[in-house]
Amino acid sequence: MRTVPVAAERKYQVEIGIDWKVALEDWTEGRNKVVVIASEAMELKVDFPVVRIPDGEKGKSPEVITKVWRELGNLELNRNDLIVGIGGGTVTDLAGFAAASWLRGIDWVAIPTTVAGMVDAAIGGKTGINSIHGKNLIGAFHSPSAVLIDLDWLKTLSDRDIAAGMAEVIKCGFIADKVILELLENKVLKDVVNDRDLQAELIFRAVSVKAGVVGKDFKESFLREVLNYGHTLGHAIERYSNFELRHGEAIAIGMCFIAELSLMKLDLAPDVVSKHYEILKALKLPTSYKFEAWPELLKLMAIDKKAKSGSLRFVAIDEIGNCLRIEDATSDELKSAYERIAE
């Protein structure tokens, strides 16, 4: 087992390589009630009530959180009780928001079952749901009491889901830890899928990157914004595709876009731009998107929560591990960068 400490509004540990059922016992002992939130599709045997939510982004809606609140009320959860979110990023986002909003905040434990959940969604205290206006626009900062990462969950994932989650790992490589990129050099998706030690090391490193950022900037001033590398366009593509693309697939495209914009605006080295495409393509992640989608994507980016005072802001890099903002890109520059990744 390896642990990564997170110092947010409260301190907690991310435990990697544990048996989640054994580790959870430490958090359920002494609780009057424990409620698990999981997706409808998950096969799960636990000794606690389970509130089921729809799979994917459909589970992060005002209607679903209202249903969850109703269930929590029926179960009479009080401040000493515990919510446990078991699932991918959408489940832990929703479970965390349920915990943040019930009685103005009760304890919760995250048990992520996907790569993206392990390295991103479950860590850092960002919880929330989607609205008709955009992704994750309704939410709260409310850290879990613990994050329990059982790597055996990865055996249940499709190759596509592992690849999509790896996009968040790759992001951490470009913004902070070049060793991640070195570990993935000359690797293809099957290498990652079949190598448990490689998975463990990549997840540990990505978790360490996020924990380090969150510990310095819990409420998201610029430092925490670096975790949104590739996400401004990525979130817009998710919505445009009606969430048919996995989150990581959309973020992969977004990273290629911002690499091209960084080349134009910050003189990012061409070989670093090329490295984006090489690593992402090797893991069978998309690096381009529909040419005709640009006008609508531009509108969707304008209502992204990272936009301020009506202007688009992008997390960018001028070299691996050094993040900057791009806030002055013209519409022509944005279009030109998009045309370089358009199909």
Each of the 343 residues of the chain gets a pLDDT tens digit; together they read: 999 999 988 899 999 999 999 999 999 999 999 999 999 999 999 999 999 999 988 999 999 999 999 999 999 999 999 999 999 999 999 999 999 999 999 999 999 999 999 999 899 889 999 998 888 889 999 999 999 999 999 999 999 999 999 999 999 999 999 999 999 999 999 999 999 999 999 999 999 999 999 888 776 666 778 999 999 999 999 999 999 999 999 999 999 999 999 999 999 999 999 999 999 999 999 999 999 999 999 999 988 655 555 679 999 999 999 999 999 999 999 999 999 999 9
231 assigned to active site: yes
Query: What is the rounded CA–CA span in Å between residue 201 and residue 207?
Result: 10
CB neighbourhood size of 46 (10 A): 14
> How deeply is 221 buried, as exposed, middle or buried, from its count of CB atoms within 10 A (0-12, 13-18, 19+)?
exposed
Contact 89, 121 (CB under 8 A): yes
Radius of gyration of the chain (CA): 19
**Active-site pick, 57, 71, 168, 238:** 168
76 assigned to active site: no
276 assigned to active site: no
224 assigned to active site: yes
pLDDT given for residue 310 in this prediction = 62
225 assigned to active site: no
Contact 115, 157 (CB under 8 A): yes
308 assigned to active site: no
β strands within 121-263, DSSP E: 126-131, 134-141, 146-149
- Does the domain spanning 158-341 belong to CATH 1.20.1090.10? yes
299 assigned to active site: no
pLDDT given for residue 309 in this prediction = 55
Tell me how many helices (H) and strands (E) the chain has: 14, 11
Q: What backbone phi and psi angles, to 5 degrees, belong to 86? A: -120, 110
**Active-site pick, 104, 155, 194, 242:** 104
Q: What ranges do the domains of the chain cover?
A: 2-154, 158-341
247 assigned to active site: yes
**Active-site pick, 210, 239, 276, 313:** 210
Q: What is the CATH number of domain 2-154?
A: 3.40.50.1970
